[in-house]
């Protein structure tokens, strides 16, 4: 069983993904964490080599992760790659959404190279939202509910729909 979490930055893909995987008794893969482990901080990759280089690294990690069983959390921009979009036809894809108000408190820290402020986040989400929605089998808003409740709801949905 493969379940893939997609969505904008600050939607909670990593945090919810860990909880969902535990509930389902599956391994968890966070593709951003794998990139960081192999190549260093994402914002530093962007600064030193640019977005195209990062996207190539990301694609390689995503391709490998999608070939395994478990819960996979993709970075927010991973869905921009056409090969990744094609690969997402097979697994169950869950879109996590978040309101701008909720995202505002989550996007600080300077670790997101394309999200420097809330206006940048809004522009990014506006551009990517049609892709997210086209790829998703199920959508859940993570704005203001406890993460454990969301993970429980998703685990129940996965069990009912697989």
Residue 61 pLDDT greater than 90, yes or no: yes
**Separation CA 15–CA 73 (nearest Å):** 9
Residue 63 pLDDT greater than 70, yes or no: yes
Residue 112 pLDDT greater than 90, yes or no: no
Mean pLDDT of 143-149: 95
Mean pLDDT of 107-125: 75
pLDDT value of position 133? 97
pLDDT value of position 111? 63
**Separation CA 124–CA 130 (nearest Å):** 11
Residue 80 · residue 131 · CB < 8 Å:
yes
pLDDT value of position 105? 82
pLDDT, tens digit (0-9, with 9 covering 90-100), for 5-50: 999 999 999 999 999 999 999 999 999 999 999 999 998 998 899 9
Count the neighbouring beta carbons within 10 Å of the beta carbon of residue 162.
10
Angle at CA 151, nearest 5°, toward 148 and 152? 85
pLDDT value of position 110? 56
Domains of the chain in sequence order: 2-161 (3.40.50.300)
**111 φ, ψ (degrees, to nearest 5):** -95, 0
Count the neighbouring beta carbons within 10 Å of the beta carbon of residue 157.
17
Mean pLDDT rounded to a whole number for the chain = 93
Residue 109 pLDDT greater than 60, yes or no: no
pLDDT band per the 50, 70, 90 thresholds, residue 107? confident
pLDDT band per the 50, 70, 90 thresholds, residue 80? very high
Mean pLDDT of 94-123: 81
Q: Provide the token pair at 75.
A: 């970075």
**Separation CA 109–CA 87 (nearest Å):** 32
Q: What is this structure's pTM?
A: 0.94
């Amino acid at each position: 069983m493969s379940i893939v979490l997609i969505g904008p930055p600050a939607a909670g893909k990593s945090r919810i993904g860990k909880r969902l995987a535990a509930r389902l008794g599956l391994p968890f893969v966070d593709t951003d964490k794998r990139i960081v482990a192999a190549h260093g901080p994402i914002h530093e990759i962007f600064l030193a080599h640019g977005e195209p280089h990062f996207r190539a690294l990301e694609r390689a990690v995503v391709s490998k992760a999608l070939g395994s069983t478990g819960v996979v959390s993709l970075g927010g921009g991973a869905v921009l790659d056409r090969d990744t979009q094609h690969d997402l036809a097979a697994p169950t894809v869950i879109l996590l959404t978040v309101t701008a108000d909720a995202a505002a408190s989550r996007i600080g820290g300077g670790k997101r190279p394309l999200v420097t402020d809330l206006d940048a986040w809004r522009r990014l989400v506006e551009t990517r939202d049609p892709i997210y929605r086209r790829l998703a089998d199920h959508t859940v808003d993570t704005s203001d509910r406890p993460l454990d409740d969301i993970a429980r709801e998703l685990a129940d949905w996965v069990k009912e729909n697989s």
